[in-house]
Structure 1
Amino acid sequence: MKIAIIGSALSGNKGAAAMLESSVQHLSKRNDKARFILLSMYPSADARLNTYPNLRVLDASPLRLGVLINGASLLHRLLPPLRLAIERAVPEIGALANADVLLDEGGITFVDGRGKYLIYNVASILPALLVRTPVVKVAQAMGPFNEPLNRLAAKILLPRMAAIISRGAVTHDHLVATGLTNVQEGADLAFTLEVGDADAAAAGERVDVGFFDNGDVVGVSPSAVLRKSAEARGDDYISEVVAQIDYVTEVLNRPVFLVAHSARAQTAKTHNNDLPVCREIQARVARPEKVLFVDDELSSQTLRFLISRCGIFIASRFHAMVSSLATGVPTLVIGWSHKYREVLEMFGLAELAVAHSDATPERIRQMLDDLIQNRDEVAAQISVALPQVRARAMEQVSVIERVVSRQT
């Protein structure tokens, strides 16, 4: 079984890492001969972080993907006599041509209002289609498809997917409304990420886990994406989050775990990197001694273990929310897309999501107070729903296996 993966990475967004590692974990368990190729946007960092012996990292950084890999895949399609030479010259093409399936693990694709990302969404799957390798879009948020260019791209490419896994009811409705018949309902694969004793021990080496012993820690996961959109509106995002943390530490008298759930320790760039945002927040909080912040890039498993120790979580990164829900932690979500609400709906907790544009300080404080007061009931509700959500997430592993079986 040869599996190529694109759209996720070990470095940067740890939600993408959780999806990638869940794929490797579960497919390797089912087939001990499974081999994986990661077409990575951060090839050097991902190669450094890779601990999986059956995972190879190749260079699919944006410019190389958009120009060389897409161009070479077109030549591969048009010039059969040169195919072997092209595969040798561009190893990413060789990996795709010899793969049984490409897993597209982009967390959110083909969505109106994200025009600059549409090019990447198309470039990620087009080479596989050109070399005739089936593509499975692993559970992700998609749609709506009202904008002409997004609608056209979706109409041309999405029917050609071997399978599309929707990540929630809203996405599923968007996809079905277009007439697609290759769609199956699912849940984010990151819900199945396995965290063991070794991961807990690794967390203990990086953090004084005694910080969490009283069970009253409030986790806070800010977002560089929200900061950018807030500042475009003239809002001061850093001050907003600082005020939230100060309310927790000074009024509620609780400690805070400040989480950079997207982190790239080797760069100051903010794309897929919340470390700079968290540094600014930490520097301005009123009670820094009550705020735990690890100024480094932690693994997805380490982050999930630490998040599991929180009593309450405030998430503005999607997969920080997934980690808190996956470990039974009651979660308040301040987000920007339907992708948050549709996951909370699986737990019957959609009311715990608020759009950042509507997240006034008064509203957030009230929602947080209510969540703390009702913590046990919310935790019980998550516990009841979680097995079904995990089972739905695991179903896509079987979908991938069925697609692979048709190729072998």
Structure 2
Amino acid sequence: MTVDIRGVNTVNKGAQLMLEAAVERLAPDFPLTAGPIQTAYRVRASLGLEQSLSITGRPLASARLGNLIPSKVRRWYGLVADKDLSGVVDASGFAYSDTFGAARALREASVARRWKRRGVGYVMLPQAFGPFKEKATADATRRLLEQADLVFVRDRVSAEYLDGLRVDVRAQLMPDFTIGLDVPKISPVATESSFIAIVPNKKMYTTGAVEKERYVEDLVRYGSVARSNHGLEPIVITHEVGDADLGEELAYRLGTRVVTDSSPRVLKAMIGQAHAVVASRFHAVVGGLSQGVPTLAYGWSHKYKELLRDFDAETWITSPKDDARDRVDTLLADDATLTAVKAARSSLTGQVDDMWAQTKRALTR
């Protein structure tokens, strides 16, 4: 009974965090696989994952070719053919939307139809969806959803987008499933003073949410206000390799340093040490809130505001229109919201436990 974890990768550290969360919960019950293109061998090996023979860009062709490899050869090299799968979980996070187009949903739907005919359990783990204004994206996503045994949706806005597709599937609201993921003990990020973590995301300007220069100026302003008004040293934490240049630019303009790590759990631990966080990476926001750190979300899609709602912290959203001084001062004085955030964690982790219980039942039906 082998389960394939799809939609994850080890370049995006939020995606890797979701991979690690899925392995932690599913590995005691199932042998697990992940694809070779998206996930580094070093990470797969450390997590005890075998390698599926599915290539994301050519799922049907790779499934057919992989099925032809003799079983003895597959065992020798730790390979898993599509025909050996008994279950599949999609841990994409945010992939089915006009933002990303129809291609991925079409590819996944093509293999999901085969799984359904074979009785392979298929679960879409909590993720954001939509919008679906483009007919091609809407049609492709509808086809994919029709193959699923369970669909978990991460927020109310995404649920409304799915309702608009009028597909015969009940999507259940569930929070992000990395909330309860533990972190390792690490050395102090800052030894001489408390710090505010600045976590940038180039998608803020590549998606058109804000112009790059305005975005950089905003983050510099947040860091400068935290330093001058509250004695917090701004430290830039880069959550992704693709944000490295942006992080260096911010650090130069703030007169500070950049810290990072290849492990998403270490990154989460770094964020947990901060006195406050301003973040544009979704799982950096999750990392701050789930560890009870005052966190301003400066995001590019609806998923950020909805995440804050899960933690009863809707006011901790910020945008280019906001005054940095006011937002930082208010965040650090907002003891009532911080208390609510800490209280919300227990309820949210309980919901995640229920989600995993349902998932395991669907995969063993």
Give the TM-score range, shorter chain.
0.7 to 0.9
Q: Closer, same or farther in 2 for the Cα pair 1:22/1:231, shift >3 Å?
A: closer
Q: Which residue of 2 aligns with 1:279?
A: 248
User: Within the alignment, does 1:145 sit opposite 2:128 as a pair?
Assistant: no
- Structure 1: distance between partners of 2:162 and 2:99: 17
User: Which sections of structure 2, spanning at least 5 residues, go unmatched?
Assistant: none
- Give the deviation of 1:83 after TM superposition: 8.3
Q: Which residue of 1 aligns with 2:89?
A: 103
Alignment of 1:212-223 (within 5 A): 216-223=194-201
How is 1:172-211 mapped onto 2 (pairs within 5 angstroms)? 172-177=159-164, 178-195=166-183, 199-200=184-185, 203-204=186-187, 208-211=188-191
Task: Provide the residue aligned with 1:270 in structure 2.
Answer: none
User: Is 1:385 aligned with 2:354?
Assistant: no
Question: Residues 3 and 31 of structure 2 are in contact (CA less than 8 Å); yes or no, is this contact kept in structure 1?
Answer: yes
Deviation at 1:105, TM superposition (A): 0.9
TM-score normalised according to structure 1 size: 0.79
Higher relative helix content = 1
Aligned residue among 43, 49, 53 for 1:55: 49
In the TM superposition, residue 55 of structure 1 has moved relative to its aligned partner by 1.0
1:203-257 Cα shifts (integer Å, max 9, x gaps):
22xxx4453x75x421111001113245985744333322332232234331123
3-state SS in 2 of match to 1:149: helix
**How far is the alpha carbon of 1:302 from its aligned partner?**
0.9
In the TM superposition, residue 191 of structure 1 has moved relative to its aligned partner by 0.9
Give the letter for the 2:237 counterpart.
V
**Deviation at 1:347?**
1.9
CA distance, structure 1, for counterparts of residue 110 and residue 182 of structure 2: 31
1:322 partner SS: helix
Residue 122 to residue 190, structure 1, CA distance change in 2 (3 Å) = farther
Q: Which amino acid aligns with 2:111?
A: P
CA distance in 2 between counterparts of 1:326 and 1:232 reads 27
- Assess, with a 3 A threshold, how the Cα gap between structure 1 residues 83 and 377 changes in structure 2: closer, same or farther: closer
Deviations 1:35-80 (A, max 9, x none): 111114434xx212345353124576xxx4223x33244xx4xxxx
| Partner in structure 2 of residue 112 of structure 1 | 98
Deviates more, 1:50-59 or 1:140-149: 50-59
Q: Distance in 1 between matches of 2:249 and 2:52?
A: 34
Q: Residues of 1 paired with 2:80 and 2:20: CA distance?
A: 23
Cα deviation, residue 340, structure 1: 0.9
Greater Cα offset, 122-131 or 362-371 = 122-131
Equivalent residue for 2:56, pick from 56, 61, 65: 65
The amino acid of 2:310's aligned partner reads: M
* Contact 2:96–2:104 (8 Å) recurs in 1: no
CA distance in 2, matches of 1:52, 1:59: 19
Structure 1 counterpart SS, 2:151: strand
* Preserved contact between residue 8 and residue 38 of structure 2 (Cα < 8 Å): no
Partner of 1:293: 258
1:287-321: CA deviations, max 9, x gaps?
32xxx422x43311111111111121111000001
Q: Could you tell me which amino acid in structure 1 is paired with residue 353 of structure 2?
A: M
Q: Which residue of 1 aligns with 2:153?
A: 166
In the alignment, does 2:221 pair up with 1:260? Answer: no
Whole-angstrom CA distance in 2 between matches of 1:323 and 1:85: 43
Give the aligned partner of residue 267 of structure 1: none
2:27 aligned residue: 28
Match of 1:371 in 2: 331
Report the residue type matching 1:127 in the other structure: V
Task: Give the secondary structure class of the aligned counterpart of 2:57.
Answer: helix
Structure 1, gaps ≥5 residues long: 77-81, 264-272
Q: What secondary structure, in the 3-state scheme, does the structure 2 residue paired with 1:335 have? A: coil
Deviation at 1:165, TM superposition (A): 0.6
Report the counterpart of residue 344 of structure 1 in structure 2. Answer: 308
**Aligned residue for 1:394?**
353
The two structures have a TM-score, normalised by structure 2, of: 0.88
Equivalent residue number for residue 79 of structure 1: none
Q: Distance in 2 between matches of 1:57 and 1:175?
A: 32
Match of 2:2 in 1: 2
Distance 1:237 1:40, change over 3 A: farther
- Please give the secondary structure, in 2, of the residue aligned with 1:8: coil
State whether residues 87 and 94 of structure 1, in contact with CA within 8 Å, keep that contact through their aligned partners in structure 2: no
Contact 1:6/1:40 (CA < 8 Å) preserved in 2? no
Q: What is the CA–CA distance in structure 2 between the aligned matches of 1:26 and 1:71, rounded to whole Å?
A: 30
